[in-house]
Amino acid sequence: MHWPSPDGDYKPKPDEPRIWFPSMRPVAEVLSDKNRALLRLIAETQPSSLEELAQSTGRQSRNLSRTLRTLAHYGFVELQRHNRYVRSVAKVTDFENRA
């Protein structure tokens, strides 16, 4: 994760992540302990549906769906539609924060 330079012209190197946050607050919210644990669980168990993931986490589907959409917005999760089901795939499970 990187923050733009004051003049906004920082160019990430090809091997650097492309996820940007304007401040530490959204980083703390999106990458909370609970959400990082969720990403690890998705990577380890590869659930076939939102319902399966909700059962294994004990979280309500509606709240879990909202969290997954947020994580997908930042590229941490990919949401794949299969017929009536939505499958989540963890794209990132390791994080490095440079400030």
Domain boundaries of the chain, sorted by first residue: 30-90
**What length is written for the chain?**
99
Lookup result for tokens 């703390």: 28
Q: For helices 61-73 and 33-45, what crossing angle results, to 10°?
A: 90
Better-predicted residue by pLDDT, 16 or 34 = 34
Q: Is the pLDDT of residue 10 over 70?
A: no
Q: E strand or H helix at 21, and its extent? A: none
- For residues 58-69, average pLDDT: 93
- For residues 19-36, average pLDDT: 84
Q: Specify the pLDDT at position 82.
A: 85
**What CATH number belongs to 30-90?**
1.10.10.10
- For residues 39-47, average pLDDT: 95
What's the mean per-residue pLDDT of the chain? 83
Long-range contact list for 11-17, CB < 8 A, 24+ apart?
Answer: 17/92
